[in-house]
Amino acid sequence: MPEFDIVGVGLNATDTLLLVSHFPAYAGKVPYDEEILSPGGQVASAMVTCAALGLRTKYIGTVGDDERGRIQMESLLNSGINLDHVQLRKGCANQSAYIIIDRATGERTVLWRRPECLRISPDEIGPEQITCARMLHIDGHDTPAVERAARIARQAGIPVTVDVDTIYHGFDRVLPHVDYLVASSEFPIQWTNESDPFRALEMIQFEYKMRVAAMTLGAHGALALENGRFVYSPAFVVNCADTTGAGDVFHGAFCYSILEGMPMREALDFSNAMAALNCMSIGARGGIRGAAEGRALMARAERRSRPEFETRGPGQ
């Protein structure tokens, strides 16, 4: 049996959250109510979610040796994640983000920076780091490194999930090794130049022969294409305090769902519920909960459905 259920290769970040009563107009000025330092980052937060759901979890990434890096490492250590292949980069600042959160809606605007000294190179990814797990989760930022990780996983028969929200140079070399693509709503349209999201997912799945091509839809839920059928899961309606990290938590919950063998509709519903719970608290990891709380929300919460995303067959 593999030592871990899941290994993640990709980004972490430490956020400065600025809470405002309302978002300023362009070139305007408003006071902020509160400033909070909070750990986050795509793959790192997904792995924290997996650990909270009881998975044996490993994270591979780089962390700066500044105060933000210390905050990040403390959070990861407290989550019980294996960090044997996290590299502490000397004299390098950790990836950071300044996130303005509108208290009125919970929506956020992100300004981020990742120093070049944090880049992971392909030769730093060894087969034993990947084949020790039942699943690999990646993002797209250090594209050559995640390509190598995905290639190793594919050769070992390990399923690969990917979280991608923008087009990265060379990402066409990653996608052939991906089993589960869960992208932002913008990525499939940008990648294919096809404005119809249904058709865009079909095109990506057909070209790269992946099991599932899916997209998150923010406040409207998630849409996936599996076995020639679209599955749409509406979002859960909650009192939203902060949307930061909702997608990252969704991805962690989705990885858990696939490893648990959930049908696609249930996997999307559960992932939506976990993301909604996180939105009820401040910070990228502020509302990460266990599976029981996710299922409890699924049982009681109202859904927000959009007719244009309701299930339809391919080519319709």
The confidence score (pLDDT) of residue 17 equals 95
- pLDDT single digits (tens) 171-208: 999 999 999 999 999 999 999 999 999 999 999 999 99
| Tens of pLDDT, residues 99-131 | 999 999 999 999 999 999 999 999 999 999 999
Asked whether residue 257 is assigned to any structural domain, the reply reads yes
Question: Is residue 315 pLDDT above 90, yes or no?
Answer: no
Percent over 90 (pLDDT), the chain: 93
Q: pLDDT for 157-178, tens place per residue?
A: 999 999 999 999 999 999 999 9
| Residue 20 maps to a domain | no
Confidence of residue 316 (pLDDT cuts 50, 70, 90): very low
* pLDDT above 70 as % of the chain: 98
The predicted-structure confidence for 26-61, as pLDDT tens digits, reads as follows 999 999 999 999 999 999 999 999 999 999 999 999
Reported as a pLDDT band with limits 50, 70 and 90, residue 304 is confident
Identify the domain containing residue 177 by its residue range.
Answer: 4-13+40-93+120-309
Domain membership flag for residue 23: no
For tokens 């400065």, what's the residue? 16
Burial class (CB in 10 A: 0-12, 13-18, 19+), 84: exposed
100 within a domain of the structure (yes/no): no
Number of folded domains in the chain?
A: 1
Mean pLDDT of all residues belonging to the chain:
95
The answer to whether residue 114 sits within a structural domain is: no
Asked if residue 257 has pLDDT above 90, the reply is yes
Per-residue pLDDT at 311: 56
Q: Write out pLDDT tens, residues 73-93.
A: 999 999 999 999 999 999 999
CATH, residue 215: 3.40.1190.20
Residue 32 lies in a domain: no
